[in-house]
Structure 1
Amino acid sequence: MAGNGTFDYDYNEPDVLDKLHTEAEEMNNLIYMYTGMYSITILLGVPLNILVIITLFRRIGNYEAAIWLLGMAISDLIFCLFLPFRIFSAWENFTWRFGWILCKLNSFVPFMSMHSTAVVLSFMSLEQLFFNRLSCTSCRFNASKLMLLISWFAAAVLSCPSLVYRVVQYKNNGVVCMDNYEYETTGLVTSEGLKRKSAVLYMRFIFGIILPVASAAICCCLLVLRKNSFQIKSSVNYHITKALVIGHCLCWLPCLCLPLWQHHSTTEISPIFAIIVPVSNALAAMSGCIKPISYIIIGLHFCLPWMKDDCTTTQDGEIEITDLTDLK
């Protein structure tokens, strides 16, 4: 031991060198994983969401659900435009150089996109039950616009913890953008801070996952009792809503569940979270491009009413599905 009370390590020892080499290799793998997945999301999400926005603007008056899909495409596009900041930060060993405002927005925008998508998907599930009873097309369209505004407002309120608890702090490895649920920057963890963190994590999980899944499940069960349940289940809206709910859960479920598990777990399994939590965060970023990809996949089997010209409309105003094999 040295005279100042610190330990003198011989960095030429094999054990120390192996440990440093392993840590450096893990950090490089983490950087490559983040930059790779974020870059893929940008390359796919930006042009595809722009294409969806342009297409929906052209057909927005003919398809009442287009306003909701348009709202999700806009939020996903904004989400993708903020990803370059994360790429630059990851490439510089997660050092943050863009100030505290962008630090807060870089967390606020993804969670607002997640919450708005969750609320919109819930509304789309309810539309299968109630909106179809409105014979007035303009009334259904105006109701959709109102619900989109409500979803954006609710998402902004639910994402406010990112504006409050996301801060720029100085660490040993430089300036980082991170969550701090303490009102002081002493580095100490208090019971009040743990309670605030737990409340935020549960709120995100409930409104981000439980809300859309429960709405879709309840509406699906109630559809069985409807006389026209087969007609509704064979509609394009039903298939799009089901695909978007599944894609939303696949992207965001690990990102929202793992922090809760980590929050209530012991330190013995912390090395596991050091591997799977970054992967779940990168997977959540893929939600920025998953929706337009879902439209393309569904479009290979069904005629999307806002992407095709040869869809037929029934007397009740419902869009009929046309198998593309019949169009050849």
Structure 2
Amino acid sequence: MENTDYDMNLNSYEYTYSYEDSTYSTPPLTTEGSKLKYLQIVVYCIIVIFGTFLNGFIIFRVCFLHNTAISIFFSNLATIHLLSSLFLSLNVISSWQNHHWSFGLILCKANSFLHFLNMFFTASIITVVAGYRFVKLMAPCFAQRCHSVGTISCSLVVIWMGSTMLSTPSLVIRDTTIHEDNEIVCKDNYALIALVPKVHETILLSRFFCGLAIPFLVTACCSGIILCRSGSSKMKSLQGYIIIRWVIIAYFLCWVPYQVVFILTYKTRKENKTLTTTWMPIVTVLSMANNVLTPAICIFMGDKKQKWMETAFNEKEEVGSQKVSEDQEL
């Protein structure tokens, strides 16, 4: 059987296919590719600036002004978005240097690890939130007993551990490679774990199911049942419901294209200029834009006084025939 090594590069979008003694790689950037590179850098800078400011603002508001049990979810979500936005500055410098990676192997691995940790953690949060809202409607007494700082903290520990485990492959397969003219590229190197059978397929499937399919099914089913039981007109009138709904929608809008393009790139198993030079940079930027969209939704979709936490998590909200705490409403 022909030996095939398939190396993916998240940051430089360079894909190399080695078939025994031959290697085929992408050509240098064209004029259009150069324009796309500068556009990517500009968008990255915007994400770094606004992602840092907005998420830092949310962490400050939650920690010092709204220290409630449910706000722990938001502070943790803002924390991972903040870290991801800060690390994105490394990609800005790398892109400006034509994807030359000058920050060493450790930061190369950490950058990719944090990117997928951000995805898995956000997916886990919106899944837990949707599930909690469903349990609160079906069994409000049980949900009230679970609504405590201790229970939510334990849930977050499990989410952090699970997200870390799912992101661990990036620490293994991420590597730095020296190309022509001493250019160092940070990219995936599946040859490091070539002895593991179907490792590439396993990693892709874990990212697809845990980062997209399962969260989508859970949030869609739970939201549909909640709407049917409580009435769409009443739910749509609740500011908290609107905020959480758009947070979930923003996640899928940002990460679905990213997942789809990566799967398509793997399925083609051949050089695809459209995917590697055009769509891959676009979907990567779009996935990072979630770092800005989520805090922007939380802050600017509140009332005129910008009391978004009180609006989304008020202590006195009624859904259907049950008294539901907006401090728990997710």
The question of a shared fold, defined as TM-score above 0.5 by the shorter chain, is answered with yes
Q: 1:314 to 1:82 in 2, by over 3 A?
A: closer
Larger Rg, first or second structure (1 or 2)? 1
Q: Which residue is equivalent to 2:154?
A: 146
Secondary structure of residue in 2 paired with 1:118: helix
Secondary structure of residue in 2 paired with 1:157: helix
Matched, 1:287 2:290: yes
* Residues 131-168 of structure 1: CA deviation (Å, up to 9, x unaligned): 44347578433322221221111110110111010000
Q: Identify which range, 47-56 or 133-142, moves more after superposition.
A: 133-142
In structure 1, give the amino acid aligned to 2:92: I
Hey, what's the Cα distance between the residues in 2 that align with 1:317 and 1:82? 39
Aligned with 1:218 (options 221, 232, 238): 221
Matched, 1:40 2:46: yes
* Structure with the bigger percentage of strand: 2
Q: Is the 8 A contact 1:212 1:245 kept in 2?
A: no
Q: Which residue is equivalent to 2:280?
A: 277
Q: 1:302 to 1:22 in 2, by over 3 A?
A: same
Hey, what's the Cα distance between the residues in 2 that align with 1:252 and 1:243? 14
Unaligned runs of 5+ in 1: 1-20, 185-189, 321-328
Hey, what's the Cα distance between the residues in 1 that align with 2:278 and 2:61? 40
Matched, 1:128 2:133: yes
Q: Is the 8 A contact 2:314 2:326 kept in 1?
A: yes
Deviation for aligned residue 1:46: 0.5
Hey, what's the Cα distance between the residues in 1 that align with 2:135 and 2:312? 27
Q: 1:255 to 1:287 in 2, by over 3 A?
A: same
Q: Which residue is equivalent to 2:191?
A: 182
Q: Is the 8 A contact 1:126 1:219 kept in 2?
A: yes
Q: Which residue is equivalent to 2:170?
A: 162
Hey, what's the Cα distance between the residues in 2 that align with 1:247 and 1:128? 18
TM-score by length of 2: 0.78
Q: Which residue is equivalent to 2:270?
A: 267
Q: Is the 8 A contact 1:52 1:70 kept in 2?
A: yes
Q: Identify which range, 230-239 or 258-267, moves more after superposition.
A: 230-239
Deviation for aligned residue 1:233: 6.2
Secondary structure of residue in 2 paired with 1:97: coil
Q: Which residue is equivalent to 1:239?
A: 242
Q: Which residue is equivalent to 1:49?
A: 55
Q: Identify which range, 209-218 or 219-228, moves more after superposition.
A: 219-228
Q: 1:231 to 1:218 in 2, by over 3 A?
A: same
Hey, what's the Cα distance between the residues in 1 that align with 2:313 and 2:125? 27
In structure 2, give the amino acid aligned to 1:182: A
Q: 1:171 to 1:30 in 2, by over 3 A?
A: farther
TM-score by length of 1: 0.79
Secondary structure of residue in 2 paired with 1:183: helix
Matched, 1:319 2:322: no
Q: Is the 8 A contact 1:198 1:260 kept in 2?
A: no
Q: Identify which range, 305-314 or 76-85, moves more after superposition.
A: 305-314
Deviation for aligned residue 1:80: 0.7
Secondary structure of residue in 1 paired with 2:111: helix
Hey, what's the Cα distance between the residues in 2 that align with 1:310 and 1:119? 20
Q: 1:200 to 1:135 in 2, by over 3 A?
A: closer
Q: Is the 8 A contact 2:44 2:88 kept in 1?
A: yes
Hey, what's the Cα distance between the residues in 1 that align with 2:268 and 2:313? 55
Hey, what's the Cα distance between the residues in 2 that align with 1:92 and 1:155? 31
Unaligned runs of 5+ in 2: 1-26
* Residues 116-137 of structure 1: CA deviation (Å, up to 9, x unaligned): 0100100000111224434757
Q: In the comparison of the two structures, how many residue pairs are matched?
A: 293
In structure 1, give the amino acid aligned to 2:259: L
Cα-Cα RMSD: 3.1
Secondary structure of residue in 2 paired with 1:306: helix
Fraction of identical pairs, as percent: 24
In structure 1, give the amino acid aligned to 2:58: V
Q: 1:237 to 1:134 in 2, by over 3 A?
A: farther
Secondary structure of residue in 2 paired with 1:95: coil
Q: Is the 8 A contact 2:130 2:219 kept in 1?
A: yes
Q: Identify which range, 217-226 or 158-167, moves more after superposition.
A: 217-226
Deviation for aligned residue 1:251: 1.0
Q: Identify which range, 171-180 or 42-51, moves more after superposition.
A: 171-180
Deviation for aligned residue 1:178: 0.2
Q: Which residue is equivalent to 2:5?
A: none
Deviation for aligned residue 1:258: 0.3
Q: Is the 8 A contact 1:126 1:215 kept in 2?
A: yes
Aligned with 2:116 (options 111, 130, 150): 111
* Residues 64-89 of structure 1: CA deviation (Å, up to 9, x unaligned): 42111111000000111101111111
Deviation for aligned residue 1:211: 2.2
Q: Is the 8 A contact 2:261 2:275 kept in 1?
A: no
